[in-house]
Structure formats: C-alpha cells, structure tokens
Amino acid sequence: NAGVTQTPKFQVLKTGQSMTLQCAQDMNHNSMYWYRQDPGMGLRLIYYSASEGTTDKGEVPNGYNVSRLNKREFSLRLESAAPSQTSVYFCASSPGRGRPYNEQFFGPGTRLTVL
C-alpha cells in the first residue's frame, strides 16, 4: 500500500495564480483532511471531509476550496494564491465513521511558495 500520496511535492506560484493540490489514499478510509504548517509552527486544519460527499471548514479555511472527488481523493484548490499561503501542506486520512480511535495517517507534504 502506498498509504497517502500527494502531488506535487514542490510548487512555486506567483501571486494571483491558481492551483490544485492532489491527495489520494489507498486504505479505504472514510475521512480525509488538509492541514497547513508554517515554519516553526504546528499543523492547522484547513478543511476536512468526514465521508465521501461531505466537506467542512477547519481552523483556517479562508482562501481555499476543497473537493472530495471520490472516497480515495481529496483535492485542495487555491483560487488566487497569496504570499501568506506559502506553507507546507499535508493531507491525512483516517478510518472515520464507525472506527472510534481513528488515528490519522499523513502524506509526505507539498511545499508551496507564493512569490
């Protein structure tokens, strides 16, 4: 199993450009999450999806949109990138509904720089 995969690994954008970060998991998990991590900080939740077809805002959703394309895939879109969105983005998944312990499994991250 590959676990949680993310593409791309690195990306540089100019202010105002848009892009989509891709995430996929092969563990048949119901729940998926997007976090961002700024230098020297802990992770902050952007959006999450408790199950296919549902999405909810996390702690820092402004400037982002998400799509739960199917059970495997959860994408994060920046419509108009800003320098404040320079960060490392992590996708995670967990078994979800019906599985109370629900440890989260994280991908390797996407390092995004907005100039």
Partner 1 sequence: DAKTTQPTSMDCAEGRAANLPCNHSTISGNEYVYWYRQIHSQGPQYIIHGLKNNETNEMASLIITEDRKSSTLILPHATLRDTAVYYCIVRPLSNFGNEKLTFGTGTRLTIIP
- In terms of Cα–Cα distance, which of 8, 72, 5, 60 is closest to 36? 60
Q: How far apart are CA 2 and CA 45, in angstroms?
A: 23
Confirm if 93 and 1 have CB atoms less than 8 A apart: no
Closer residue to partner 1 in complex, CB, 46/78: 46
The site for partner 1 (CB under 8 A) is made up of 4, 30-31, 33, 35, 40-45, 48, 50-51, 56, 58-59, 90, 92, 94, 96-109
Closer residue to partner 1 in complex, CB, 19/45: 45
Closer residue to partner 1 in complex, CB, 14/101: 101
